[in-house]
């Protein structure tokens, strides 16, 4: 069996490892646009703050791929897919035939139309090296964080760590506008303002003024035009069923790029976190090897906004819910519980953490919002 995997992040590398474990004779090719062996994106903020040395960010050594008999193609990208003859064309002109193809190409940061010195993104190790270089060269005046999600929070934490004064500009009226209610946002905004950060909302077009450091975190975009052109069904991500299989026979998707049928919450959606990408990498390998087992996982993700813990469990979308209950206030922290069709499907917790496990357990058990309110 010939397996080709597009993307050497945690989803693609886990899949490659699992395929080798299951099939010692398989041919496995891992095409990886980045030149580095697998590293942890989760550790990048810690590396940036000097808490983890650069070498500890790596999760695999270059020789691991050869030891596993995985054909690793670093610095190479897939450009075209031919689903009739089952092969991909690579950026260096080579081709690879497959029996099963995995799209694990993650996402790329949305960029500002204008690029100039001082504008930085935080998605890759190279981005992190670039940010450190800018910080060490010295920052004059106030920096700006442009965005309203996880990466914006990472930039806020980072600038604060280095004592860099900064303001925040976001497109919507709050951080995570699709998930947080006014009360949850109030907790974060108050904390930012107490720390001397001016928060500007509704900034659709970012004016690049004289700031010499701009941390941009305005979301990710899928990098899968080549798959769409070949007839793979895509929306915001590459659409899959609960087996992580696309509409094209033999083609699968996993990790940040997959808009998969999430059985835990009952709808097709994108999930962008490490645990999800790793578990999907493992599950998709099993299915590519012929197992046909659906994945059911309740995913959750936490981050810090200048010391305020923000946690998302399951499907934390106000828009996609038909029931929302809010518990708590600015003093004790706010929980929002999201329901659909009578069932709990997700939650956000801002400024409180101790209920995270209870919410996750209830969601796993297929409970209702009222079950949580009774506890
Ligand atoms: C700074 C930062 C901090 C984070 N912190 C956390 C955290 O604390 N907790 C958490 O759960 N999650 C965190 N995340 C999110 C988590 O890291 C991601 O969800 C996870 O890494 C996604 O893995 P992936 O393998 O799906 O995609 P990626 O890691 O994006 O890997 C995809 C790879 O495919 C490559 N690629 C793209 N197109 C092609 C192509 N055509 N050909 C070949 N290769 C291609 C890309 O270059 C990339 O290397 C963080 C992310 C970042 C950036």
The stretch 333-351 carries a mean pLDDT of 95
- Residues 54, 47 contacting (CB under 8 angstroms): yes
Examine the pLDDT at 279 and tell me if it is beyond 70.
yes
Cα three-residue angle 9-232-35, rounded to 5 degrees: 25
Q: What is the mean pLDDT of the chain?
A: 95
- Among 15, 42, 260, which residue has the most ligand 1 atoms within 8 Å of its CB, making it the best to mutate? 42
- Residues 280, 258 contacting (CB under 8 angstroms): yes
Q: Which atom of ligand 1 is nearest to the CA of 272?
A: 19
Nearest CA to ligand 1 atom 37: 105
Q: Which atom of ligand 1 is nearest to the CA of 41?
A: 17
Q: Band of the pLDDT at 368, cuts 50, 70, 90? A: very high
pLDDT of residue 208: 64
pLDDT of residue 82: 98
Runs of H (alpha helix) within 172-273: 182-194, 225-229
- Among 80, 106, 253, which residue has the most ligand 1 atoms within 8 Å of its CB, making it the best to mutate? 106
Q: Which two tokens stand for residue 303?
A: 């981050």
In the reported structure, the alpha carbon of residue 100 is separated from the centroid of ligand 1 by a whole-number distance in angstroms of 22
Judge if the beta carbon of residue 77 lies within 6 A of ligand 1: yes
- CA–CA distance, 119 with 172 (Å, rounded to integer): 21
- Among 110, 269, 273, which residue has the most ligand 1 atoms within 8 Å of its CB, making it the best to mutate? 273
In the reported structure, the alpha carbon of residue 106 is separated from the centroid of ligand 1 by a whole-number distance in angstroms of 5
Judge if the beta carbon of residue 105 lies within 6 A of ligand 1: yes
pLDDT above 70 coverage of the chain, percent: 98
pLDDT of residue 207: 65
Greater confidence (374 vs 50) lies with 50
- CA–CA distance, 347 with 326 (Å, rounded to integer): 10
Examine the pLDDT at 8 and tell me if it is beyond 90.
yes
Contacts of 100 (CB under 8 A, 6+ apart): 1, 2, 3, 4, 250, 251, 252, 288
Beta-bridge partner residues of 267 = 262
pLDDT above 90 coverage of the chain, percent: 89
Count Cβ atoms below 10 Å from residue 170 Cβ, excluding itself: 24
Judge if the beta carbon of residue 44 lies within 6 A of ligand 1: yes
Judge if the beta carbon of residue 40 lies within 6 A of ligand 1: no
Nearest CA to ligand 1 atom 6: 42
Judge if the beta carbon of residue 222 lies within 6 A of ligand 1: no
Helix (H) or strand (E) holding 345: strand 343-350
Q: Which atom of ligand 1 is nearest to the CA of 226?
A: 41
- Among 7, 150, 254, which residue has the most ligand 1 atoms within 8 Å of its CB, making it the best to mutate? 7
In the reported structure, the alpha carbon of residue 182 is separated from the centroid of ligand 1 by a whole-number distance in angstroms of 30
In 3D space, the residue among 137, 125, 130, 102 whose CA is nearest the CA of residue 115 turns out to be: 130
Summarize pLDDT for 122-151 with one digit per residue, the tens.
999 999 999 999 999 888 889 999 999 999
Q: Which two tokens stand for residue 349?
A: 């917790």
Examine the pLDDT at 322 and tell me if it is beyond 80.
yes
pLDDT of residue 141: 84
Judge if the beta carbon of residue 104 lies within 6 A of ligand 1: yes
Judge if the beta carbon of residue 223 lies within 6 A of ligand 1: yes
Contacts of 296 (CB under 8 A, 6+ apart): 242, 263, 264
Structural domains of the chain, ranges and CATH numbers in brackets: 2-108+220-288 (3.50.50.60), 111-217 (3.50.50.60), 307-374 (3.30.390.30)
- CA–CA distance, 301 with 287 (Å, rounded to integer): 26
Three-state secondary structure call for residue 360:
helix
Summarize pLDDT for 206-244 with one digit per residue, the tens.
666 666 899 999 999 988 999 999 999 999 999 999 999
Judge if the beta carbon of residue 34 lies within 6 A of ligand 1: yes
- CA–CA distance, 308 with 326 (Å, rounded to integer): 18
pLDDT of residue 374: 77
pLDDT of residue 117: 84
């Amino acid at each position: 069996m010939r397996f080709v995997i597009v993307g050497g992040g945690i989803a693609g590398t886990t899949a490659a490892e699992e395929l080798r474990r299951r099939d010692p004779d398989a041919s496995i090719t891992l095409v990886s646009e980045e030149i580095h062996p697998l590293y942890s994106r989760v550790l990048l903020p810690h590396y940036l703050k000097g808490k983890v040395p650069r070498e500890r960010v790596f999760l695999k050594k270059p020789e691991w791929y050869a030891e596993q008999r995985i054909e690793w193609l670093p610095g190479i990208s897939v450009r075209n897919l031919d689903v009739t003859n089952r092969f991909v064309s690579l950026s260096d002109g080579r081709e690879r035939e497959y029996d099963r193809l995995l799209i694990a190409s993650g996402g790329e940061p949305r960029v500002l139309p204008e690029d100039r010195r001082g504008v930085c993104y935080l998605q890759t190790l190279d981005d992190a090296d670039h940010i450190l270089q800018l910080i060490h060269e010295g920052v004059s005046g106030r920096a700006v964080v442009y965005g309203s999600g996880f990466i914006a929070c990472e930039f806020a934490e980072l600038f604060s760590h280095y004592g860099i004064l900064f303001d925040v500009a976001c497109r919507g009226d709050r951080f995570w506008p699709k998930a947080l209610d006014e009360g949850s946002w109030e907790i974060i905004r108050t904390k930012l303002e107490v720390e001397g950060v001016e928060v500007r909302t509704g900034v659709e077009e970012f004016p690049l003024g004289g700031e010499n450091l701009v941390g941009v975190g305005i979301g990710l975009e899928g990098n899968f035009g080549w798959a769409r052109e070949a007839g793979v069904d895509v929306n915001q991500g590459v659409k899959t069923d609960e087996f992580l299989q696309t509409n094209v026979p033999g083609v699968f998707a996993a990790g940040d790029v997959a808009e998969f049928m999430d059985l835990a919450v009952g709808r097709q959606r994108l999930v962008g976190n490490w645990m999800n990408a790793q578990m999907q990498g493992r599950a998709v390998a099993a299915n590519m090897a012929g197992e046909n087992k659906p994945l059911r996982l309740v995913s959750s993700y936490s981050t810090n906004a200048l010391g305020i813990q923000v946690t998302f469990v399951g499907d934390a979308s106000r828009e996609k819910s038909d029931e929302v209950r809010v518990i708590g206030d600015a003093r004790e922290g706010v929980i929002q519980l999201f329901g659909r069709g009578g069932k709990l499907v997700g939650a956000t917790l801002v400024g409180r953490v101790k209920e995270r496990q209870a919410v996750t357990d209830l969601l796993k058990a297929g409970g209702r919002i009222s079950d949580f309110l009774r506890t």
